[in-house]
Structure 1
């Protein structure tokens, strides 16, 4: 029995007899006698070999297969790149892969992973746009430095450029750190300082402080960081570091106050205790709960480390305090509401602050007590007649209370005395009656004076005819003012005589 097999031009065949490998068949027609011949064909457009029991065949018939196959075998510490035409294939450790020769150009490259995980530059260029198993790519821009870590251990720095590494059974990471930022977040800086001094010396500025030191770090003349005592930190080279000893004096000089307090960021100011003392004020400084000194007007700042700080600005100007809405019973049990104003000035800030925890609260309470005492011992009439007595009484009381605390009382005065509605009504009636009686007295006094004046005038006229005539003329003038026209017949003397005669009749 004859069997014929046809191998296409883009195929290759393997001849088997009773499942035993016989030989490789190139494209063409083949005829064999017998029932037990068979041929398996493989499409050469798929260049990777998919032969069953390939490893066994290579062991027993390698001489026959070698002309047709590119065999790639990797050990546990090896990986390979295979170029198949224009494509690339990665071969991981402990692998066996084969590719058909001849139809498509193939070549292989073996890499020893113990020597280096990085792919050489010529391979990086060729696989730039190809994603391959077991290979990880990184890009470091021109403004960055890369830190290469393998299995979480720092290996070396990477300058700007493209990189590719085998990451087979290994964790390969690259931390991209900006060179524009002078204080990036270095991963595990203590490890870098202690274990990799060469890298630190080449790229970094190390700052390590004692427990009595702080540091100001500047970049291009600008403060970028404040470092507290005992810290250790890395910066890129190019920064300026000023180390300050704060063991004896933690106060900032004037130039640093201007730089750190007025112009720096809020993060920088968090390391400072700042107190602004306005004009006409004085500041009190306490360190570790103990008074140290008085502060003149201006901005003062101290490093906060290692001490507790308290400061307070005391106003030395004349101040006022209001005691409003005080409901008090007078001596005669009349409920009153009073408002009091007092002016005071702090003469001795230290004595006032050390003796009083709340100066304004103390003054308010004592003024309240003084006002209640002054009002409670006086009747309503006495209060209304002499409010100044209340002011004087309260002033004397509060002056005694504040004498030991360096506080001067400038003035005390009751602004308002507010009466209940029914008391207002009663007082209004009393005032109305008093004013009405006064009006009657004045009216009677005026009537008496007018009558006395008329009597005196009559006596003058009786003894003096000329004065009488003048009075007559005055009366005539008044009459003329009230009529439209007057006609005179005869002389003025006869008219006046007739008028007088009529009056007499």
Structure 2
């Protein structure tokens, strides 16, 4: 039993069996036993599920030459373990997968496409298009990463950081837009009120009854302030009543 080796492949893993440093076969999740007389068997453990990594603080220039920093998320999966292991060390890590070298390659290649995409937009419109930037992974990038046995599932822009001076300018621009919108609403309200007053004045001018009631209202207000004598009608002429 000293020469019998047990290999355990977890449900979220795929094993790659090598004998004398030559690939023999792929091991699905399960427990395997092999006779290993002179310790010639090695197994690389690779993840079967999707992997997620973050690339932070990448500097880029926009179309209007504004320098900014951005971070993004990468979701990928290893689709060809043999090709992947031909480029990266998957043996020294045991059953724990820490693909630092692989993720470095992915981030370096993907940055090229992010920079090109952001460089096509003005800084003012960048936030408006952040959801559509690289909505689909470019075929060229997929082909490049396929050489490493990797398939990109999605690239997602996480955040954008503008220089402080540009942030202040954007804030002032936003304030000006809000102020202009408020002034426009006030102007519309004023015009609507003036139009209503004009319509009311025209209505009073053309309607004798409304004018009479307005006259009575005025007389009532004057009478409420003290004793007054009102003469309604024409004054008598030549002493005649």
> When the two structures are superposed, what TM-score results if normalisation uses the length of structure 2?
0.70
Distance 1:326 1:372 in 2: 9
Equivalent residues in 2 for 1:94-493, closer than 5 Å: 216=1, 226=2, 272=5, 274-354=6-86, 358-392=101-135, 395-396=137-138, 398-460=141-203, 463=207, 465=209
Q: Could you tell me which residue of structure 1 aligns to residue 234 of structure 2?
A: none
SS in 1 for 2:199: helix
Asked if the contact 1:383/1:390 (under 8 Å) is kept, the reply is no
User: Does the residue aligned with 1:300 lie in a helix, a strand or coil?
Assistant: strand
Residues 495 and 384 (structure 1), Cα distance of their counterparts in 2 relative to 1, 3 Å cut = closer
| CA spacing shift, 1:446–1:398, aligned 2, 3 Å | farther
Structure 1 residue 498 and structure 2 residue 220: aligned?
A: yes
> Secondary structure, in 3 states, of the residue corresponding to 1:363?
helix
For structure 1, the 5+ residue unaligned runs are: 1-215, 217-225, 229-251, 253-271, 473-493
Deviation per residue, 1:101-159 (Å, 9 max, x gap): xxxxxxxxxxxxxxxxxxxxxxxxxxxxxxxxxxxxxxxxxxxxxxxxxxxxxxxxxxx
Deviation at 1:414, TM superposition (A): 0.9
The higher relative CO (CA closer than 8 Å, separation ≥ 6) is in 2
Runs of 4+ off more than 6 Å: none
Deviation at 1:413, TM superposition (A): 1.3
- Structure 1 distance, partners of 2:167, 2:192, is 37
Q: 1:498 to 1:282 in 2, by over 3 A?
A: same
**Structure with greater proportional strand content:** 1
SS in 1 for 2:133: helix
2:232 corresponds in structure 1 to: none
How far the C-alpha of 1:336 sits from its partner, in A, is 0.9
**Number of matched pairs:** 210
Give the RMSD, CA atoms, in angstroms: 3.3
Which structure features the higher share of helix residues? 2
Contact (CA 8 Å) 1:319, 1:345: kept in 2 or not? yes
- On the 8 A contact 1:356/1:362 being kept in 2, the answer is no
Are residues 288 and 439 of structure 1, via their aligned partners in 2, closer, same or farther at CA, if it must alter by over 3 Å?
same
Change (3 A) 1:293 1:365: same
Question: Following TM superposition, by how much is the alpha carbon of 1:385 offset from its aligned partner in structure 2, in angstroms?
Answer: 3.5
Contact 1:344 1:410 (C-alpha < 8 Å) held by counterparts:
yes
Highest Rg: 1 or 2?
1
- Partner of 2:43, secondary structure, is strand
Aligned to 1:391, the other structure's residue is in SS state coil
Q: CA deviation at 1:501?
A: 7.9
| Structure 1 residue 405 displacement after superposition | 4.6
What's the TM-score once normalised by structure 1's chain length?
A: 0.36
